[in-house]
């Protein structure tokens, strides 16, 4: 609450306003103040200021209802006063009255089309409420009114990216950089966009531009991870070292450096960096864990075991126990591994990994009944039940093989987790394997209702339409979306190529199928499709080469016979 002196000052101002303002407070009390008005004939500045001060005092004292009432009256006194109009919706938001704030802003923006700050506030409310298209529309309007406002352009580009509308997002960021090539955030967000869409060379160039404009540890770290992802280890190494040059005790950068050195097969340097890190780390036991993992990944299980046993003597750790189990499995001691894994509690972070490893060991040692029982036990218990366990149990039944039980497990999982798109997609794939194509398509379309950008479901439905030579326009749309979401997936590029083939666009079909064959060089179906595309283009030798490759890779006798017939027919041409 205001102190006595503040109250005295406010009272003096109110008296002064009443004596000099000439507004009738009783008249204002009766005016409609629920939405803004732009009638300039009703302007009374003294009256507006009086109620604005009253509202400010009430807001300062946390009396929001009283403050809102006062601000609304102030707005009725002077509908043109922006300092008042800006207060009302913000106060409504503070009070949790989002619908009222949205309605007020809609009315205000309609009457004041040049008032951009309120338009953007309305946009943010729509975004908060999940109405992203309306939020984007309002931001676009805002950019029209302020074309040089970098903050609006950045926000709009991010919103398009959030919607996976990468083309428009790129247009916004690129347009911003044409106006201001030195925009740090413009370069950074465009780099992230290129990375998201798999345009790695363009991503690298814009990342480097951003780093040149504003070097920071955070950006250098992000870029090092980016370069590691694409196996440019030399650049990643230099970035990690640049971070450590500014802060020798940055553990995240040290760990990144170690991982990069290992990726470059520089094991001795990685171990040396681990020793340096251990000397100042607040958690040396984590460094020991990393070192044991290095030994394990480098085919030195005995050294890993020695280090892990030493750690286990100091204190019990489920992480250590899990890694010891991995060591024993590597040493062909499955029973020793199982004995340790069974002691890991369901409450520990390693429980899910330990369960998966137990299932793997039991399956590999032909103890499938034990594996089934273990998974069924975890599914029956609500404390341990997870969607992924249903998928794993179903896969075990498929190995028996018992497709019906596998399907029933997935149906049970879907009933427990009706919003789990991945579990539903597993059911679609199994239905397809069981020869129930119509049901598989219906199930995959349900997946897309739950998750419209599920790349595998988009590919499944789109490819099925292409294979049936139906709904080709929609098939093209679906698979293009899938390619955008997973640009390095060869099977999706194969689907795209097959759609183009069905549409009679053989050149584009060839381009996509060649890309697919590079990404997935061991799949016979891709080479079969590629042969069809070459044949359609009259490229006989290339078609024969592709069919022959498909024949070499194929394990299915029916497919082999079909391919052999294609080769013989082509040779007679």
Topology of domain 283-381, CATH:
1.25.40
The pLDDT score that the predictor gives to residue 373 is 96
Portions of the chain given CATH number 1.25.40.10: 283-381, 386-451, 453-573
Topology of domain 386-451, CATH:
1.25.40
Closest CA to 427 of 450, 405, 411, 446: 411
For 264-317, the pLDDT digits (tens) are: 989 889 989 988 988 888 888 888 888 888 888 888 889 888 988 988 888 888
For 356-394, the pLDDT digits (tens) are: 999 999 999 999 999 999 999 999 999 999 999 999 999
Band of pLDDT at residue 516, cut at 50, 70 and 90: very high
Rounded distance, CA 396 to CA 533, Å? 38
For 169-224, the pLDDT digits (tens) are: 999 999 999 999 999 999 999 999 999 988 999 999 999 999 999 999 999 999 99
Enter the tokens of residue 128: 């908060």
Half-sphere exposure of 29 (CA within 13 A, CB side): 3
Q: Let me know how many helices (H) and strands (E) the chain has, helices first.
A: 34, 0
Phi-psi region of 164 (alpha: psi -120 to 50; beta: other; left: phi over 0): left
The pLDDT score that the predictor gives to residue 13 is 32
Homologous superfamily of domain range 453-573 = Tetratricopeptide repeat domain (1.25.40.10)
The dihedral over CA atoms of 531, 533, 538, 540, expressed in degrees to the nearest 10, equals -10
3-state secondary structure labels for all residues of 128-170: HCCCHHHHHHHHHHHHHHCCCCHHHHHHHHHHHHHCCCHHHHH
Percent of the chain with pLDDT over 70: 93
Out of 39-48, 110-119, 218-227, 443-452, least confident range? 39-48
Exposed (0-12), middle (13-18) or buried (19+): which is 78, by Cβ within 10 Å? buried
The pLDDT score that the predictor gives to residue 36 is 52
3-state secondary structure at position 365: coil
Query: In 279-434, which ranges are continuous DSSP H helix?
Result: 284-297, 301-314, 318-330, 334-341, 351-364, 368-380, 387-399, 403-416, 421-433
The stretch 408-432 carries a mean pLDDT of: 95
The pLDDT score that the predictor gives to residue 297 is 84
Contact 401, 371 (CB under 8 A): no
The stretch 91-108 carries a mean pLDDT of: 91
Residue showing tokens 């040149």: 212
For 494-509, the pLDDT digits (tens) are: 999 999 999 999 999 9
Enter the tokens of residue 534: 């070459």
Interaxial angle between packed helices 251-263 and 267-278, expressed in degrees from 0 to 180 and rounded to the nearest 10: 160
What separation in angstroms does the CA of 196 have from each of 310, 353, 355, 372? 43, 29, 33, 39
């Amino acid at each position: 609450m205001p102190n006595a002196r503040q109250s005295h000052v406010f009272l003096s101002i109110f008296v002064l306003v009443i004596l000099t303002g000439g507004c009738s407070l009783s008249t204002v009390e009766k005016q409609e103040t629920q939405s803004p008005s732009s009638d300039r004939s009703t302007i009374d500045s003294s009256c507006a200021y009086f109620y604005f001060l009253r509202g400010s005092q009430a807001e300062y004292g946390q009396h929001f209802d009283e403050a809102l009432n006062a601000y609304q009256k102030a707005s009725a006194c002077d509908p043109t006063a922006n300092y008042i109009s800006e207060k009302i919706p913000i106060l409504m938001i503070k009070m949790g009255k989002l619908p009222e704030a949205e309605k007020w802003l809609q009315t205000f923006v309609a009457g004041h089309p040049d008032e951009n700050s309120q338009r953007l506030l309305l946009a943010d409310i729509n975004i908060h409420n999940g109405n992203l298209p309306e939020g984007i529309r309002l931001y676009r309007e805002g950019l029209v009114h302020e074309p040089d406002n970098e903050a609006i352009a950045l926000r709009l580009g991010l919103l398009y990216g959030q919607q996976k509308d990468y083309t428009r997002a790129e247009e916004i960021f690129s347009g911003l950089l044409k106006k201001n090539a030195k925009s740090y955030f413009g370069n950074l967000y465009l780099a992230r966009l290129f990375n998201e869409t798999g345009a790695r060379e363009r991503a690298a160039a814009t990342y480097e531009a951003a780093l040149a404009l504003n070097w920071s540890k955070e950006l250098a770290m992000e870029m090092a991870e980016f370069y590691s992802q694409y196996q440019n280890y030399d650049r990643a190494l230099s970035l990690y070292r640049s971070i450590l040059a500014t802060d020798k005790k940055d553990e995240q950068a040290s760990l990144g450096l170690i991982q990069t050195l290992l990726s470059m097969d520089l094991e001795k340097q990685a171990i040396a960096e681990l020793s340096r890190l251990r000397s100042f780390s607040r958690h040396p036991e984590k460094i020991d864990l990393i070192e044991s993992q290095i030994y394990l990944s480098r085919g030195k299980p005995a050294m890993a075991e020695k280090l892990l046993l030493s750690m286990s003597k100091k204190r019990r750790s489920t992480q250590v126990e899990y890694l010891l189990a991995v060591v024993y499995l590597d040493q062909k001691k499955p029973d020793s591994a199982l004995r340790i894994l069974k002691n890991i509690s369901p409450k520990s972070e390693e429980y899910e990994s330990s369960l998966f490893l137990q299932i793997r060991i039991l399956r590999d040692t032909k103890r499938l009944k034990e594996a089934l029982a273990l998974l069924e036990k975890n599914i029956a218990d609500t404390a341990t039940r997870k969607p992924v366990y249903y998928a794993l149990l179903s896969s075990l039944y498929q190995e028996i093989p018992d497709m019906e039980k596998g399907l029933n497990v997935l149906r049970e999982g879907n009933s427990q987790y009706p919003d789990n798109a991945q579990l539903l997609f597993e059911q679609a794939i199994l239905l397809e394997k069981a020869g129930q194509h119509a049901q598989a398509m219906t199930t995959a379309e349900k997946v897309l209702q739950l998750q419209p950008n599920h790349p595998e479901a988009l590919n499944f439905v789109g490819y099925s339409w292409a294979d049936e030579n139906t709904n080709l326009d929609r098939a093209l749309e679906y698979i293009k979306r899938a390619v955008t979401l997973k640009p390095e997936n060869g099977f999706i590029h194969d689907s795209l190529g097959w759609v183009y083939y069905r549409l009679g666009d053989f050149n584009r079909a060839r381009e996509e199928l060649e890309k697919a064959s590079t990404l997935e060089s061991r799949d016979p179906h891709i080479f079969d499709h590629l042969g069809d595309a070459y044949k359609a283009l009259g490229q006989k030798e290339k078609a024969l080469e592709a069919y022959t490759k498909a024949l070499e890779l194929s394990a299915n006798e029916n497919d082999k016979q079909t391919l052999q017939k294609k080769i013989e027919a082509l040779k007679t041409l």
